[in-house]
Amino acid sequence: MYDQAPPAPPLADAQNPDERMLRPALWRGWRRRCPQCGAGPMLKGYLKMRDHCPVCSEPFHHHRADDGPAYLAILVVGHIMAPMLHIAFTVWRPDPMILATSFSIGCIALSLYLLPRLKGALVAFQWARRMHGF
Ligand SMILES: [Zn+2]
């Protein structure tokens, strides 16, 4: 299910031990891994957060991502797909049903791909900045 490798060292800054390093935490969150150890899975199923990391026991029960991941997914998908729709329409002029079907499938697929990754990154951002109880 998840890596059994020894947990990576905690992401504390050497100069300031109270600071957590943001960039590695975001990458671990994007990979849907625990931002603390990088080994344990953060999500249970598609979007459900675990109460705590099964490897390092970092608690996740107090995260507050709420609508943030969905908002970010809509923002990213819209900014990718809207120019592509314009280019496809002006350059190739496909049949409207083909255009609508292909872009609907593309939007749904990209949203389903991005949503859990953005949720992981957002929770990792909250963890790195010690927001909402982390
Ligand atoms: Zn962990």
Q: What is the pLDDT of residues 109-131, one digit of tens each?
A: 999 999 999 999 999 999 999 98
**Cβ within 8 Å of residue 31, ≥6 positions away:** 38, 117, 120
Which residue in 85, 67, 72 sits closest to 113, CA to CA?
72
**Cβ within 8 Å of residue 101, ≥6 positions away:** none
| Ligand 1 center from residue 52 Cα (angstroms) | 8
| Ligand 1 center from residue 48 Cα (angstroms) | 16
| Ligand 1 center from residue 10 Cα (angstroms) | 9
| Ligand 1 center from residue 133 Cα (angstroms) | 16
Q: What is the pLDDT of residues 84-98, one digit of tens each?
A: 999 999 999 999 999
Task: In whole angstroms, give the CA distance from residue 71 to residue 85.
Answer: 20
| Ligand 1 center from residue 47 Cα (angstroms) | 17
